[in-house]
Amino acid sequence: MPVGCKRTLIGRIGAVLGFACGVIGLVAGMTGHGWKLEPFGWFTGGTLLMLVSLFALVDAAIAQQKPR
């Protein structure tokens, strides 16, 4: 398995989960649903997860370029 491949996979999965949390928060806010985390919490959590995933993807890209 090449260097950075696991990081890329983890980053992509995190990005998908962050996007899903953000969409849940957005839809919940537009429809007026109130859950435990509230719509703002879902949207903020999704945004934070997307940022962490973005850093993981950048780290994976750098790790894949170093051996070359």
DSSP-assigned letters across all residues of 20-33: HHHHHHHHHHHHT-
d(CA 68, CA 47): 33
Confidence of residue 67 (pLDDT cuts 50, 70, 90): low
Query: For 39-51, b where at least 16 C-beta lie within 10 A, e where not — what string?
Result: beebbebbeebbe
| Between 1 and 51, the higher pLDDT residue | 51
- Region 49-64: mean pLDDT is 85
Confidence of residue 58 (pLDDT cuts 50, 70, 90): confident
Residue 10 carries which side chain, given as an amino acid letter?
I
- Region 57-61: mean pLDDT is 84
Structure token digits, residue 45: 């959590």
> What pLDDT shows up at residue 56?
85
